[in-house]
Amino acid sequence: MQTISAPDNAMPQPPQSHAVARDRKPHLRQIDRLRIITALSVVAVHVLGNSTFLDKGFGAQVAQAMFITSFHFTREVFMFLTALALTYVYYGKPFATGHFWKRRALGVLLPYSVWSVIYVLANVRPTSIGAFLGSSALAILTGDASYQLYYILLTLEFYIIFPVVLRALPLLARRIKTTLIISFTLEVLILFFIHDILPNIAVPSSASFLVSQFTDRFVLVYQFYFVLGALTALHLPEIKAFMLRHGPWMIAAGVVALVGLEINFLVQVGPSSGAMSRAVAVLQPMMAPYSLGAIAFLYWLALVLAQRVEQRKALRTERVWHQLSDAAFGVYLVHPLFIGAFMWIIVPPVRAYLPAGLIIFIVWAMTAFCSVASTVLLLRTPVLSRLVGRPAPTPRWLARWRAWRQQRTSLTRPRLAQVGAAGPAQEREP
């Protein structure tokens, strides 16, 4: 997800996720850890969300909703990583907008479109060519083919405005603290408006579809996490040193944020389940401080994991993390298929014998394993690797043939040069 460069995107796993060798920037190993941790957390929240029927008791519903809410950091972490990685690679260098958008189109838009079509076939099951084409086009435009694809659409929006963000960064970097305070305050106000004001506003019917459809997938709704990631990329050494030096504070930030989130949840739920949907909402004011605490803790954790492997010089372990990071984008794309399959195949036979918590864990573990395994297989398959955002790998036989040809050419050229040099000399002799 090469070893000398940073990922140029931190989507669950976008294509060509590292800069080319000419960039000469150290590879950010903590990004590898954070990518796959977040991707598997996405699997967890979706397994939890699809298994609420296992125990319909009020206490069980509250407990499961609390777990679901605690995993709502995933989209914010991915946004943070996307802005961080892109800024790390492109800031301070000549930037070709057209080339950037072309890479994003091949690496993200293409697999997003293909998987949208796949999920239309799996979920909508259109009965005619016209219905299929119409459903596919609408799904690509709205990100509604499957419940996780909205985020890809959101990321594509950020790619569109990234050239502007890159040009604005020098100005924002002059007043980092002021910029972050203003951005964070604006984020809280946006979430407060969406969660507490917008539901009480009479929206015209002509605009209600757009409001309900795109509120959670409009890039500016999450502006703070993109700003935070971009500005973090400008001061990575200082931030790394600070976090590793103050590890207990990073842990405390995560714990306090989580406790605050759950207290906020319980206050909203009260004695009945009537307010459950509002309490578990991703777009609510409490998510801003919670996501900030989660980002601080998880980034510190990723740094610690990377540092330990580096100190031990465990190259094999590093390769495993690298492979998992490469697979993160594919895990994000494919996991709903496995969740649906396991909910249908595994859950009914064991539901009467196993507790709901154990069933949820089993489904999560199997979904995570199958998602990673299938993605790794796709990554190693020519043409199909494009489905998970990677250029087609070169088959081994072709790589060996190219190496043989190159070696043979390198041995033949000096001989030809000698013959060419000797020829004219012989002709000049009497």
For the record, the structure tokens of 230 come out as: 């971009």
What six digits make up the tokens of 274?
A: 């009537």
Of 109, 98, 104, 219, give the one whose Cα is nearest residue 157. 219
Q: Do 165 and 159 contact (CB within 8 A), yes or no?
A: no
Q: How far is CA 313 from CA 4, 310, 318, in A?
A: 16, 5, 9
pLDDT of residue 17: 42
Helix then strand count (H, E) for the chain reads: 18, 0
Mean pLDDT by 10 residues, the chain (430 residues): 44 44 72 95 95 88 92 95 94 91 93 95 89 92 92 94 94 92 96 90 73 83 95 94 95 96 90 75 94 96 90 82 92 96 92 91 96 94 89 69 75 54 38
pLDDT digits 0-9 by tens, 247-268: 999 999 999 999 999 999 999 8
Q: Render the burial of 78-99: b for 16+ CB within 10 Å, e for the rest.
A: bbbbbbbbbbbbbbeeeeeeee
Which one-letter DSSP state was computed for residue 21? G
At how many degrees (to 10) do helices 176-192 and 150-173 cross? Answer: 150
pLDDT in tens, 317-373: 888 998 999 999 999 999 999 999 999 999 999 988 899 999 999 999 999 999 999
pTM for the predicted model, two decimal places: 0.84
| Cβ-contact 83, 236 below 8 angstroms | no
- Percentage of the chain modeled with pLDDT above 90: 62
Contact between residue 120 and residue 139 where contact means Cβ atoms under 8 Å apart:
yes
Whether 265 contacts 66, CB under 8 Å: yes
